[in-house]
Homo-oligomer: A and B are copies of this chain.
Amino acid sequence: MYNPQLNSHGELAHLLTIEGLPARVLRQILDRAAEYVTAGEQGVKKHNDLAGKSVFNLFFENSTRTRTTFEIAQKRLSADVFSLNISASSTAKGETLLDTIHNLEAMGADMFVVRHSESGAPFLIARHVRPGVAVVNAGDGRHAHPTQALLDMYTIRHYKGDFQNLTVAIVGDILHSRVARSQIHALTTLGCPEVRVIAPKTLLPRDVEQMGVRVFHDLDEGLRGVDVVVALRLQNERMNGALLPSANEFNKYYGLNEARLALAKPDAIVMHPGPMNRGVEIDTPVADGKQAVILNQVTFGIAVRMAVTSILSGARA
């Protein structure tokens, strides 16, 4: 099967989605990230992998948080970093998306990190860039958010060693979550034998079971005996919407609290992609509790984005 993310040698050329990436490539990214984590613990934050390279962060959808994590990763690799809020500039002048991309390529862009509200936009760009120019999907519509899924995998591997015997539960709005979709693909690719999704019917995609997951509608039942709990962020626009009676109601049935977490294994870890709605999908005692590894996810996220950036740039390839 043709995979636009891999070059003819089977190496990563773009990071667009977890779907279709071989376990070998996922592990290469996690292993490289581990090197940066180790270096960081030894006080070495800055590397030269991207020295002299120009990276463009193209955020067609605003996300200060995600943009900042990519900028940190890029600057720690010594790249020249340019972040553009595209809606406010050339597309407003009637230039097409591809004209913008070709112009930035002509300026010497080596990599594009793309966030877009429309699913597939990073693929469109990847199909049209010159050989040697890499595209990273930093979140497209409801489709994918591969670096988030990779940092989650890093976190799980860090705390649990391997995926072969794990049960992982993802709780919340699976339907609208590009994070959940990417996580499920990553977990199954890496050999996780049981991935559970826990959500009301209204917040689940219709074909979710075909992704290889077990579906639970009852939180207590779904959490029983799991090694990893991932609480998803409930998007503000979903609260009090048609699919959901209210944020309070969601918390009552699907909010992660201490009593419910006690149903999981005693050493289960709690993850969240952030930013958290405390008191909605997660209660504060859990969010700040000793099983939570939410801030560690953030730390690992920088290393994972450094790894992706470095691998795509061909540094040490």
**A contact residues vs B (CB 8 Å cutoff):** 40, 44-46, 51-54, 62, 64-65, 68-69, 71-72, 75-76, 80, 82, 84-85, 88-90, 93-96, 99-100, 102-108, 236, 274-278, 295-296, 298-299, 301-302
Contact = CB atoms under 8 A, between A and B. Distances in A.
Contact of A52 (B46, B52, B102): B46
Contact of A107 (B72, B82, B90): B72
List the number of copies, as a whole number.
3
Contacts of A106: 295-296, 298-299
In this complex, the member of A71, A106, A236 whose beta carbon has the largest number of chain B beta carbons within 10 angstroms is A106
B71 A236 contact: no
Nearest to A80: B75
16 contacts: A40-B108, A45-B54, A45-B108, A64-B85, A64-B88, A72-B82, A72-B108, A90-B275, A94-B277, A95-B275, A95-B276, A99-B274, A99-B275, A102-B295, A107-B298, A107-B299
A64 B296 CA distance: 33
Nearest to A298: B106
B64 A84 contact: yes
Contacts of A236: 93-94
A276 B99 contact: yes
A76 B68 contact: no
Given A65-B90, A107-B72, A51 B46 contact: yes
Contacts of A100: 275
- Identify the 10 closest CB pairs spanning chains A and B, nearest first: A64-B89, A106-B298, A95-B275, A46-B52, A106-B295, A75-B80, A106-B299, A45-B52, A93-B275, A103-B298
Nearest to A89: B64
Contacts of A296: 106
A301 B75 CA distance: 25
Contacts of A275: 90, 93-95, 99-100, 103
Contacts of A52: 44-46
A64 B100 CA distance: 11
Given A108-B45, A108-B72, A96 B278 contact: yes
Contacts of A75: 54, 80
A89 B107 contact: no
A69 B107 contact: yes
A107 B68 contact: yes
A71 B82 CA distance: 8
A295 B100 CA distance: 11
Contacts of A95: 274-276
A274 B68 contact: no
A238 to B, nearest CB: 13
A40 B35 CA distance: 31
Nearest to A302: B107
